[in-house]
Amino acid sequence: MNGSYFRAFMDLLNKPKLDIDKQIDLLKSRGVKFIIDNERVSKQFLQNNTYFYKIKSYSKNYPTNKENKYTNLDFAYLRDLSIIDMHLKKFIIELCLDIEHILRTKLLSDIQNNIKCDGYKIVDDFFKYNTQRHNQIKNQINSALNNKNSHTIRDRILIKYRDNLAVWNLVEIIDFGFLIDLCEFYYKQYKNAVFNKIKGLLWVSKCMRNLSAHNNCIIDNLLAFKTFKPNNQINNVFISKYNLILNAKNRLKNPAIHDFISALIVFDILCKSKKMKRYKYKQILDLFSKRMRKNSNYYKTNSLITSSFSFVAKFLIYLYKKNF
């Protein structure tokens, strides 16, 4: 079978490519209504603002009947959820950038104040301990040396300090995952109460940051996942410090809610600036109290969405009141 015939054969087995009219027809066949948003408006939204696979994913928050059709789902509900998701992802990216910056600052400050730690030796020791990260840096150095047209800060630092990297050089050029590895190595030797509270949640925060940065859906499925196991540390923290919301155990079995709250807890523990906290918490509370409630009538009959919203909103209010 030649290549063209094989591709044609596979197209028959796979889901066919649909133009926007057929996408609308498919949604209608599954019970999606076009009352609030008529078909013309919906087509324009699919054409200019999003695409079928992404907006269809939010339908997982709605039940179906025996015929596998949605019983109470208007296209406008999916559109609204996709817009809310966009705003939420923007906040998450900013939140996680703040976490990353504060963590870098904390690590360098702790090393600076630690008379037992040398800023150069800690890098050498880390590279001996984590050869994968060492090889990553060596490859980046070789790439920077071979790329004469590169003017990035990372490449300039790698070229200038390639034979004698200090921790303050390294911290300036590494990504979040690399930073977490470095922090875990340092704080394993030099115990720190603050880091000990967040160490189990940092990779969860990084995961949430990556999902948002890659524009993946966050609230496309708010159901509890039977096979999902909440991080032990977030369970302990939530129970001991934030045990103010009923049904927390079940809500935390949803990965999106779990990871979002994890990032908030990390920020709450790490951030020592009252002004920064006030701004960040007011920002997310405004999103929940204004934009997310703009079309609250869409979700009156959907207990999954309303209960998820209520759970996280109560936690946000608690965080704000605890600090201010």
Mean residue pLDDT across the chain: 90
Domain contains 248: no
* Residue 287: DSSP 8-state: I
Last residue of a domain, one of 162, 189, 216: 189
Averaged pLDDT, 241-265 = 79
Averaged pLDDT, 117-133 = 96
Averaged pLDDT, 246-275 = 89
**pTM listed for this prediction:** 0.90
Evaluate whether 237 touches 200 at the Cβ level (below 8 Å). no
Neighbour count for residue 202 (Cβ, 10 Å)? 24
Domain contains 305: no
Residue 176 clears pLDDT 60, i.e. is over it: yes
d(Cα 259, Cα 261) in Å, to the nearest integer? 5
What percentage of the chain reaches a pLDDT higher than 90?
A: 77
Domain contains 35: yes
Q: What is the domain range of residue 74?
A: 3-80
Domain contains 177: yes
pLDDT digits (tens, 9 = 90+) for 161-170: 998 999 999 9
CA 118 to chain centre: 34
Domain contains 271: no
Q: Within this chain, do residues 70 and 7 fall inside the same structural domain, yes or no?
A: yes
Last residue of a domain, one of 57, 80, 103: 80
Evaluate whether 267 touches 99 at the Cβ level (below 8 Å). yes
Which residues sit opposite 33 in a β-bridge? Answer: 74
Domain contains 76: yes
Q: Within this chain, do residues 65 and 126 fall inside the same structural domain, yes or no?
A: no
Helical segments of 32-147, H only: 39-48, 52-57, 75-112, 121-129, 131-146
Whose structure tokens read 């027809």? 25
pLDDT digits (tens, 9 = 90+) for 50-95: 999 999 999 999 999 999 999 899 999 999 999 999 999 999 999 9
Q: Within this chain, do residues 133 and 72 fall inside the same structural domain, yes or no?
A: no
Q: Within this chain, do residues 184 and 128 fall inside the same structural domain, yes or no?
A: yes
Looking at residue 13, what is its pLDDT? 53
Burial state string for 64-74 with b = 16 or more CB within 10 A and e = fewer than 16: eeeeeebeebb
Evaluate whether 288 touches 294 at the Cβ level (below 8 Å). no
Domain contains 47: yes
Q: What angle do CA 255, 204, 166 make, to 5 degrees?
A: 165
Helices (H) and strands (E) in the chain, counts: 17, 0
